[in-house]
């Protein structure tokens, strides 16, 4: 393998200015993550502790094997939405290690509106389940939830991808042989009652845990029956009488001990990792990425400088380096796992798309996962390129990205615009994980371009009607709100709040996150062959 040689002056003015800009973003990110984890109202915290329950952070820490990493998913989901206090969409979740086994953990946070489910909570639950299904990970659910967030019931209940899909997925996971262990750690009402009910194993905490379709107030209102929560749905009732729960636990710690015992007896994972190597740190420090990535997206830079700070030993065996040079493809290792890397070094041309398609086929044949580093303004446009069949060649890349059987991972390290997002494995192409760097931007096109398109369309319409074109004043009045809207919507904070990604990540940590995600992906054995369709030639 070739060692990538950096040409960056780490003491140069440009490096230091970029570094300062990225560090400001990373500091902001750390602050937001801290708020999402710990900012809760005194009232909610006091209520939780009074009830004798552990806060969700402590539940997670007690569950996960000491000293093991937790790959948290979408920790800033719902940021700035609702009353700006629905931190992490009311659910903490991610891939962690329990009893040495990689598992998917989902924990509702009762300190966020009683753990009730907002639209983004439902979306996050479904995303977490998708991760469990794609990577074949056992699911551990720690539930403490008041069910649907009633003021927004129309947005969480009726549609195909609303709350019902959570239970639909649970039935399918059961059929797929994915073990599901639920711990009832609070009052699980209505929809939340189905989460344990649909699981394979149910641990139920005495006194604080309850399962009922309607809580005591609803029962009283509906039938006049007066009943306390323990009698209606407590551990004793469900472990001795109804059989809804399997194991009674004294408190949260006891429940976690029982979960661990259940994980210990699971049949082993079919995990098989082909040809790993001993992991090696890159030669260049990952923190140097801060100074490499320009503060402005429009400033070009060599993606190999980023790769040199992410790949094991800074080594890359580049595929077709002289052909389609605006796309860097090559073989490398990350934390010892073999990967095929695809990184943008400019606009996509027909040659770059063809090169990527061939590279994806090779990785697919050898069972090597693909990692996409997206910084793309789109495919090249213009008469000559259309005549050269750029749409046809782009199709081949998009089809190969869609159909390959190997796990894919995407990191948006800069711009993610137009069809470039598709070809470079955007969210719709089902990468196992998709992360954004804090400097990234995502939209169908830039705000200025979109505003120009709209003005051009309007002027052509006016010309057809025999009217004069828009005045400069009207033109700028028309453009300004479009630019403002697209800039707001393409911001990574907006993306992560909406769960268009699995989180905004510190560029210097990208390598470690990729290592964890690739490791987890191997729990799902590869399909025998890719279901290739017809490539337009």
Please, which residues bridge with residue 371 across strands?
341, 409
Nearer to ligand COA, 6 or 116 (CB): 116
Burial class (CB in 10 A: 0-12, 13-18, 19+), 388: middle
Size of residue set near ligand COA by CB under 6 A: 17
Q: Which is nearer to ligand COA, 218 or 477 (CB)?
A: 218
List the alpha helices (DSSP H) in 418-464: 418-423, 447-464
Residue positions counted in the chain: 537
H helix and E strand count, the chain: 21, 17
Closest separation in Å from C-beta 145 to ligand COA: 7
Q: Please tell me the number of Cα atoms within 13 Å of 97 on its side-chain side.
A: 11
- Encoded one letter per residue, x for contact with ligand COA by CB under 6 A and - for no contact, window 166-205 reads ---------------------x-xxx--------------
Query: In the complex, what is the shortest distance from the CB of residue 146 to ligand COA, in angstroms, rounded to a whole number?
Result: 3
Helix (H) or strand (E) segment spanning residue 176:
helix 164-176
Q: 72 and 104 in contact (C-beta within 8 Å)?
A: no
Give the per-residue contact string, 257-286, with ligand COA (x = CB under 6 A; - = no). Answer: ------------------------------
Q: Are strands 210-212 and 187-189 parallel, antiparallel or unpaired?
A: parallel
Annotate 125-158 with DSSP letters as a single string: HHHHHHHHHHHT--EEEEE---SB-GGGHHHHSS
Distance CA 296, CA 83 (A): 32
340 binds ligand COA (CB under 6 A): no
CA distance 137 to 71: 13
Residue 53 CB, shortest distance to ligand COA, in Å, is: 9
Which residues inside 210-239 make contact with ligand COA, applying CB under 6 A? 215, 218
Stretch that binds ligand COA, among 113-121, 333-341, 387-395, 515-523 (CB under 6 A): 113-121
In the set 147, 179, 196, 414, which binds ligand COA (CB under 6 A)? 147
- Measuring CA to CA, how many Å separate 122 from each of 131, 148, 248, 427? 14, 9, 28, 18
Q: Which stretch binds ligand COA (CB under 6 A): 42-50, 60-68, 249-257, 464-472?
A: 42-50
Name the residue whose CB lies closest to ligand COA. Answer: 146
Return the number of the residue (85 or 430) whose C-beta is nearest ligand COA: 85
Q: Which of 55, 114, 378, 415 binds ligand COA (CB under 6 A)?
A: 114
146 binds ligand COA (CB under 6 A): yes
Q: Which is nearer to ligand COA, 116 or 358 (CB)?
A: 116
Please select the residue that binds ligand COA; options are 6, 18, 108, 116, rule is CB under 6 A.
116
Asked whether the CA dihedral 500, 506, 507, 511 is positive or negative, the reply is negative
Taking the complex as a whole, how short is the minimal distance between the CB of residue 82 and ligand COA, in angstroms?
A: 11
Q: Is 125 in the site for ligand COA (CB under 6 A)?
A: no
Nearest to ligand COA of 173, 232 (CB atom):
232
Q: How far is the CB of 239 from ligand COA (least distance, A)?
A: 20
**Residue 28 — φ and ψ, nearest 5°?**
-60, -40
Which C-beta is closer to ligand COA: that of 46 or that of 261?
Answer: 46
| Structural contact between residues 424 and 342, judged by C-beta atoms closer than 8 angstroms | yes
Q: Which is nearer to ligand COA, 38 or 68 (CB)?
A: 38
CA distances from 221 to 9, 147, 213 (A): 72, 18, 14
- Contact (CB, 8 A) for 93 and 137: no
Binding ligand COA by CB under 6 A: which of 47, 206, 257, 280?
Answer: 47
Cα–Cα distance, 396 to 355 (Å, whole number): 10
Q: Which one of 19, 87, 113, 309 is in contact with ligand COA (CB under 6 A)?
A: 113
Query: 15 vs 157, which CB is nearer to ligand COA?
Result: 157
Three state DSSP letters for 236-277: HHHHHHHCCCCEEECCHHHHHHHHHHHHHCCCCCCCCCCCCC
The residues binding ligand COA (CB under 6 A) are 43-44, 47, 113-114, 116, 146-150, 187, 189-191, 215, 218
């Amino acid at each position: 393998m070739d060692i990538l040689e950096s040409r960056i002056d780490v003491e140069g003015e440009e490096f230091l200015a970029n570094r300062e800009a990225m560090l400001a973003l990373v500091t902001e990110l750390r602050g937001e993550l801290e708020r999402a984890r710990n900012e809760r109202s005194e009232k909610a915290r006091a209520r939780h502790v009074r009830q004798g329950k552990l806060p969700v952070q402590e539940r997670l820490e007690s569950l996960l094997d000491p000293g093991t990493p937790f790959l948290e998913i979408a920790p800033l989901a719902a940021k700035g939405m609702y009353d700006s206090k629905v931190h992490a969409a009311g659910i903490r979740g991610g891939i962690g290690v329990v009893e040495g086994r990689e598992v998917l953990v989902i924990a509702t946070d009762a300190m966020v509106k009683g753990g009730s489910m907002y639209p983004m909570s439902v979306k996050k639950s479904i995303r977490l389940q998708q991760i469990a299904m794609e990577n074949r990970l056992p699911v551990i659910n720690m539930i403490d939830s008041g069910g649907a967030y009633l003021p927004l019931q129309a947005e969480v209940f009726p549609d195909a991808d609303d709350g019902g899909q959570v239970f639909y997925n649970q039935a399918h996971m059961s059929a797929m042989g994915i073990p599901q262990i639920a711990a009832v750690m609070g009052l699980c009402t209505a929809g939340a009652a189905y989460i344990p009910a649909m699981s394979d194993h149910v641990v139920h905490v005495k006194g604080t845990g309850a399962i009922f379709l309607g809580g005591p107030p609803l029962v009283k209102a509906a039938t006049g029956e007066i009943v306390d929560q323990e009698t209606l749905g407590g551990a004793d009732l469900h472990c001795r009488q109804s059989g809804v729960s399997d194991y009674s636990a004294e408190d949260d710690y006891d429940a976690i001990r029982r979960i661990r015992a259940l994980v210990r007896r699971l049949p082993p994972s079919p995990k098989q990792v082909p040809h790993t190597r001993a992991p090696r740190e890159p030669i260049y420090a990952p923190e140097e990425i801060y100074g490499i990535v320009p503060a402005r997206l429009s400033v070009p830079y060599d993606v190999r400088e980023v790769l040199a700070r992410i790949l094991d030993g800074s080594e890359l065996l580049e595929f077709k380096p002289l052909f389609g040079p605006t796309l860097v493809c090559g073989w490398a290792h990350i934390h010892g796992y073999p990967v095929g890397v695809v990184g943008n070094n400019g606009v996509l041309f027909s040659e770059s798309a063809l090169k990527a398609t061939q590279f994806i086929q090779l990785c697919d044949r050898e069972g090597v996962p693909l990692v996409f580093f997206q910084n793309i303004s789109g495919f090249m446009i213009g008469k000559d390129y259309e005549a050269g069949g750029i749409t046809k060649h782009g199709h081949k890349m998009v089809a190969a990205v869609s159909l390959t059987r190997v796990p894919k991972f995407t990191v948006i390290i800069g711009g993610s615009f137009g069809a470039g997002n598709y070809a470079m494995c955007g969210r719709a192409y089902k990468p196992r994980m998709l992360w954004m760097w804090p400097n990234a931007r995502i939209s169908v096109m830039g705000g200025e371009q979109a505003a120009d398109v709209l003005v051009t369309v309007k002027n052509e319409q006016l010309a057809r009607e025999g009217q004069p074109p828009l005045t400069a004043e009207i033109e700028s009045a028309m453009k300004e709100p479009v630019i403002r809207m697209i800039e707001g919507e393409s911001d990574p904070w907006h993306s992560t709040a909406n769960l268009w990604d699995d989180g905004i990540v510190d560029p210097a940590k990208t390598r470690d996150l990729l290592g964890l995600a690739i490791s987890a992906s191997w729990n799902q054995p590869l399909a025998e062959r890719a279901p290739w369709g017809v490539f337009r030639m």
